[in-house]
A and B are shown apart, each in its own frame.
Chain A
């Protein structure tokens, strides 16, 4: 159907503008989740295994950070990256990189807090055995992260789900610039008001699909984990 501008028409025709938006959204949220995993998993595991002054405060802080609204994170990153801000000289504001930074800040506490809980529970179970086997601290962390990997993958999927569906922070630091920083959620939020309903609906369908896929993956991973770990 050439020239069909209905939502399904756009999807079926593989409309380039729509595809570019989907691609950017996935790239931003996947990058942010990957960065958050690299920071959050070791951080969560370290907090789970170590005893230091201010540890309880750290745990409360991480848990609280999970609840900070994305718009507030967006505003903070905006202030940091704006031309007069401390990191303004990098010229990152209104770029995909800025969106990755904002989503990383949003997702890291989620991954760190969930990792801490998971690893701490497993540590309670493993502590005596690993200590008796004289396992060093780094290897302890590696063992716990590896043996908790099914739960941790679920944690990553939860983080990615949060990132892919949030609009508050990336709309502020990205600016929804067509062909550059326009993602699925920012397009839906802003294009609807401009009357481009078919694009918004098409993106909405794609987003629903992604959410379903994430949950299906989480389910598969959980089942695999149960089958493996008993």
Chain B
């Protein structure tokens, strides 16, 4: 990154089970951490291993903070992801209906994706990330611009995906959401890990002063 240190000495072990939720102020390094896990950038130093080994899980998907919609219909976007994931062609139609219903976009299959509202695009992006039935699902602020009903839809989807055994690593600014979904919480600030632990204890008895300040809604300096 041409001399800018974005993540510094971040050592983090993400276990199987309920979602790992990255929290922290703007610029903390949440997106950067997720992009590293997605393999979209390589660490300047240090390494990332999966199950103790460097081989990358085959079924890994990411939903970006600002997802790009392909210039195709909503269904076309899903079909593209299904194809990229190597799903057999005969399953496309069924999977597309299933995925659209899952994120509450039934009936919008033929709508050009870029004509969908911001929140609808975000839900389509989640459906697209789910197309290949990922074993590792990385979500960067998946509900950032959604209304409460759509947020609930997405949280239910995330719960269902995690319950089926996929590992979800996600970021959010919504502490209520972190509490509702998180198995583990990871608090980042200025590229450093401030505190991490199981959600149950993280929210009730944070170990560090920084986490207490952050949870109280005060500014971290």
Interface residues of A (CB under 8 A from B): 125-126, 128-129, 131-135, 143, 147-148, 227-230
Contact = CB atoms under 8 A, between A and B. Distances in A.
How many interface residues does chain B have, given as a range? 10 to 19
A133 B85 contact: yes
19 contacts: A125-B68, A126-B68, A126-B70, A128-B40, A128-B68, A129-B64, A129-B68, A129-B70, A132-B39, A132-B40, A133-B81, A135-B84, A143-B70, A147-B71, A228-B112, A229-B112, A229-B114, A230-B112, A230-B113
A129 B81 CA distance: 10
B114 A230 contact: yes
Contacts of B39: 132
A147 B77 CA distance: 11
B6 interface: no
Contacts of B81: 133
By Cβ-Cβ distance, the 5 closest A-B pairs, closest first, are A230-B114, A229-B71, A230-B115, A133-B84, A147-B71
A132 B70 contact: no
Contacts of B67: 129
Contacts of A229: 71, 112, 114
B130 interface: no
Given A228-B112, A230-B112, A230-B115, 15 more contacts: A125-B68, A126-B68, A129-B68, A129-B70, A132-B39, A132-B61, A132-B64, A133-B81, A133-B84, A147-B70, A147-B72, A227-B112, A229-B112, A229-B114, A230-B71
Interface of B: 38-40, 61-62, 64, 67-68, 70-72, 80-81, 84-85, 112-115
Contacts of B71: 147-148, 228-230
A125 B69 CA distance: 9
Contacts of A132: 38-40, 61-62, 64
A139 to B, nearest CB: 8
Contacts of B114: 229-230
Contacts of B80: 133, 143
A128 B112 contact: no
B84 A134 contact: yes
Contacts of A148: 71
Most chain A C-beta atoms within 10 Å of own C-beta, residue among B81, B84, B114? B84
Nearest to A148: B71
Contacts of B113: 230
A228 B72 CA distance: 7
Most chain B C-beta atoms within 10 Å of own C-beta, residue among A126, A132, A135, A143? A132
A172 B14 CA distance: 71
A132 B114 CA distance: 20
B84 A128 contact: no
Nearest to A227: B112
A226 to B, nearest CB: 10
A131 B40 CA distance: 7
Contacts of B64: 128-129, 132
Contacts of B70: 126, 129, 143, 147
B124 to A, nearest CB: 12
A134 B113 CA distance: 21
Contacts of A143: 70, 80
Contacts of A131: 40
Nearest to A230: B114
A228 B70 CA distance: 11
B127 to A, nearest CB: 13
A175 B180 CA distance: 80
A107 B85 CA distance: 38
Contacts of A134: 84
Contacts of B115: 230
Contacts of B61: 132-133
Nearest to A225: B71
A116 to B, nearest CB: 18
B42 to A, nearest CB: 12
